[in-house]
Amino acid sequence: MKVQAYLSFNGNCQEALKFYSELFDAEITNRQTYEDKKIDVPSSYRDRLQHAELKGKNVHFMAYDVSPDTPLNSGNQVQMSVEVSSEAEGLSLFEALSNGGQIHHNYREREWGFFGRCTDKFGIGWMVNYNA
């Protein structure tokens, strides 16, 4: 299992990652825009980042620009992301994390694997991923 931070931005993720990449001497990897995804977003969102990672010596986190259906405020700009090693492990973990909290996206199969997003009973946002 791997746990890491996932940062949320409101349209300026590319600018922020460029800043962080220079600051931390890190590389922006796995850059994916909404353009190539089967997600219903306005055309103005198509060039925004649906997912990216910043990797360097002693730094590794993920980031994205939120879609229009995800309100962004100063309390939810950081999510914790968990990469699990099986679909069953992901489901079990997601059920435990969402128990007493709020489910935003049910844990189910997506185009890249299995994914679910929730806020736990303590107000912490979690994304659970299994890349099948």
Range 40-49 contact pairs with CB under 8 angstroms and sequence separation of 24 or more: 41/67, 41/68, 42/68, 48/11, 48/13, 48/14, 49/9, 49/13, 49/14, 49/17
Rounded (5°) CA angle 83-89-91: 95
Mean pLDDT of all residues in 70-79:
80
In order of their start, the domains of the chain are 1-69 (3.10.180.10), 84-132 (3.30.720.110)
What percentage of the chain reaches a pLDDT higher than 90?
62
* pTM to 2 decimal places: 0.74
The 10s digit of each residue's pLDDT in 4-55 is: 999 999 899 999 999 899 988 999 999 999 887 777 788 888 889 999 999 9
Helical residues (DSSP H) of the chain, grouped into ranges = 13-24, 87-98
